């Protein structure tokens, strides 16, 4: 039998699993975390660009910011896909548990 937390997750995931399977949904759910992941890199290069103008030009900063944004996108999609896989695995385990609990015990021949 499932406890209340497992039942809640099972019902939620059964209703939303197809929507959450799409890569766009995974991207938009994890994009804030991806941007938060990339923010220190951008801030570092912006501060270094201001301090070392001879070493890092404006075009280099644009390239660095663009590259960091793509890193954030990749991280967001990767994290979203990982979370979906983890939730799907948990859902399948709960589903097997429900099926096992619902199936009648086979009588042993004696």
Mean pLDDT of 46-55: 72
Quote the CA–CA distance of 22 and 65 in Å, as a whole number.
Answer: 27
Residue 90 pLDDT greater than 50, yes or no: yes
At 107 the pLDDT is 55
Helix axes 23-51, 58-102, angle to 10 degrees: 150
pTM over 0.85, yes/no: no
């Amino acid at each position: 039998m499932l406890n209340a937390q497992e039942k809640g997750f099972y019902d939620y995931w059964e209703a939303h699993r197809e929507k959450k399977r799409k890569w766009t949904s995974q991207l938009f759910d994890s994009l804030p975390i991806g941007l938060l992941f990339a923010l220190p890199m951008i801030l570092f290069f912006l501060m270094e660009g201001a301090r070392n103008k001879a070493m890092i030009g404006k075009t280099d900063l644009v390239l660095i910011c663009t590259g960091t944004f793509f890193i954030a996108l990749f991280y967001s999609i990767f994290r979203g896909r990982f979370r979906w896989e983890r939730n799907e695995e948990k859902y399948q385990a709960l589903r097997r548990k429900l099926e096992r609990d619902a199936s009648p015990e086979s009588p042993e021949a004696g």
